[in-house]
């Protein structure tokens, strides 16, 4: 058998440690994430039954959540993805939203589940929802894994939020900083030295 020996002692340079460099602290563990996702999946199963919803994932951050959520659901679902511009390498929302990749499916009359990684200022989601509503779906439910507790965030539809988190820049489980950290299996706070020293 090949691969990493889980019993082997880890060092700072072991590959499995490199992906976690810059992690200040783990905010939501893998176990907590999976438990909440199973709960959300059960709710969606009960809500949609045989209606076969279209799950719309917002790339790239929602990929981890979308994958685990759809596998935890037992009803038949379909998937589609959109890509919208986000922060680039910065840690604050620019308010500039741009479609990088549109849906493949015609959503008129469909029941949509919009799957978002995180609602921060709410600008991205607000823009996305306006655009989707204009295409006349039957209904839209928004499921966001994370929502930042932020007094100045705009009011936006988020029907089900997995975790409310403090207003800090987070990484992991799909979320990146400058394209890194997406494959951490947990949500963590990024050490500010990572972006203040660069």
Using the rule CB under 6 A, is 195 a contact of ligand IMP? no
Catalytic residues, by residue number, are 120
The stretch among 16-24, 30-38, 64-72, 111-119 that binds ligand IMP (CB under 6 A) is: 111-119
Using the rule CB under 6 A, is 93 a contact of ligand IMP? yes
Using the rule CB under 6 A, is 124 a contact of ligand IMP? yes
Contacts of 9 (CB under 8 A, 6+ apart): none
Using the rule CB under 6 A, is 122 a contact of ligand IMP? yes
Interface residues for ligand IMP in 60-79 (CB under 6 A)?
A: 61
Contact 44, 143 (CB under 8 A): yes
Q: Which two tokens stand for residue 59?
A: 């790339």
Interface residues for ligand IMP in 5-24 (CB under 6 A)?
A: none
Contact 172, 189 (CB under 8 A): no
CB 94 to ligand IMP: min, Å: 9
The 170-171 sheet, strands edge to edge: 23-28, 187-190, 170-171
CB 188 to ligand IMP: min, Å: 10
Interface residues for ligand IMP in 170-189 (CB under 6 A)?
A: 170-171, 175
Contact 140, 132 (CB under 8 A): yes
**Closest listed residue to residue 110, CA positions, set 29, 70, 55, 66:** 55
Contact 54, 107 (CB under 8 A): yes
In the DSSP assignment, the letter for residue 10 is: P
Considering only 120, 132, 145, 188, the residue that binds ligand IMP (CB under 6 A) is 120
Q: Which residues bind ligand IMP (CB under 6 A)?
A: 58, 61, 86-87, 93, 116-125, 169-171, 175
């Amino acid at each position: 058998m090949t691969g990493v020996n889980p019993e082997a002692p880890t060092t700072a340079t072991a590959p499995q440690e490199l992906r976690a460099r810059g992690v200040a602290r783990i905010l939501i563990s893998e176990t907590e994430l999976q438990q909440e996702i199973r709960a959300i999946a059960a709710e969606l199963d009960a809500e949609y039954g045989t209606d076969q919803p279209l799950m719309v994932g917002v790339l790239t951050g929602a990929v981890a959540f979308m994958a685990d959520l759809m596998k935890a659901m037992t009803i038949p679902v379909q998937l589609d993805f959109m890509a919208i511009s986000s922060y680039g390498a910065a840690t604050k929302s620019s308010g500039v939203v741009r479609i990088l990749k549109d849906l493949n499916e015609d959503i008129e009359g469909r029941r949509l589940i919009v799957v978002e990684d995180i609602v921060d200022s709410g600008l991205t989601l607000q823009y996305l929802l306006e655009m989707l509503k204009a295409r006349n779906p039957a209904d839209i439910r928004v499921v966001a894994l994370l929502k930042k507790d932020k007094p100045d965030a705009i009011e936006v539809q988020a029907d089900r939020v997995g975790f409310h988190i403090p207003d800090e820049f987070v990484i992991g489980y799909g979320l990146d900083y400058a394209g890194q950290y997406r494959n951490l299996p947990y949500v963590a706070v990024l050490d500010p030295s990572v972006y203040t020293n660069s």
